[in-house]
Amino acid sequence: MVKVTFLGHSAFLLEGSKRVLIDPWIEGNPQSPISIDQCKGADIYVVTHAHGDHGLDDAIKLAKSHGGTIVSIYEIAMEAGNRGVEKTVGANIGGFFEVDCVKIALTTAIHSSPIGAPTGVVVELDGKRIYHAGDTGVFYDMRLIGELYKPDLALLPIGGHFVMGPLEAAKAIELLGVKKVIPMHYETFPVLKGRPEELKELLRERGLDCEVIILKPGESYEL
């Protein structure tokens, strides 16, 4: 079993035999249910790209105070190392690699990043595979992510403007072939107007069999 806790915006904590924090933006995140001082850290911190709302600064703070390894695209991992983080793993978009007994694969994301390239990530923890798309628009090669990695759960942005909206997220679900999805990256700011109810309706219209799991910040889902 893997416990998936939503920490607001695009931040998630995966808990099983290891703790994995993905895009841990906590300080300044209006949706965060905890303060940075209340965060217990993790074994692994995955940062999908270097925009401020995806937690590189917080990952660095947490890794320096609690330990753990920052995993990201090579240039971001180098930046974390240059800022005093002892354990980093820099990788690129390719296949699975292992960090502290957790399998990780970085995937394509269609976005921008001030350092390195933006990515998504597939995390395999205790036999469960979770795909966090990062910030991205929909792209046809999501079908490859579904075919190669067969995620049990997808964490998909739906807010629009900077990322997919519900229409594009519905297409992403079709391409991935995933059966469970948790929406993210919506309602944090007024410009992120996409809503989970819109996604549910679009899936119904398309006859797609996918459970949309709506979590409020601080709530968890057991996979």
Instruction: List the domains of the chain with CATH numbers.
Output: 3-220 (3.60.15.10)
Any idea which residue has 């330990």 for tokens?
67
Q: Which residues of the chain have pLDDT under 50?
A: none
Q: What is the pLDDT of residue 215?
A: 98
- Which string of b and e fits 51-72 if b means at least 16 CB within 10 Å? bebbbbbbbbbbbbeeebbbbb
Burial of 179 per CB tally in 10 Å (0-12, 13-18, 19+): middle
Q: What residue type is assigned to position 9 of the chain?
A: H
Q: What residue type is assigned to position 12 of the chain?
A: F
Q: What is the pLDDT of residue 149?
A: 98
Q: What residue type is assigned to position 195 of the chain?
A: R
d(C-alpha 96, C-alpha 161), whole Å: 31
pTM of the model: 0.98
Q: At 58, give phi and psi (nearest 5°).
A: -70, -40
| Among 141, 148, 209, 215, CA closest to 180 | 209
Tens of pLDDT along 156-180? Answer: 999 999 999 999 999 999 999 999 9
Q: What is the pLDDT of residue 26?
A: 98
Q: What is the pLDDT of residue 64?
A: 98
Hey, what are 85's tokens? 């983080």
Q: What is the pLDDT of residue 41?
A: 96
Q: Which residues pair with 219 in a beta bridge?
A: none
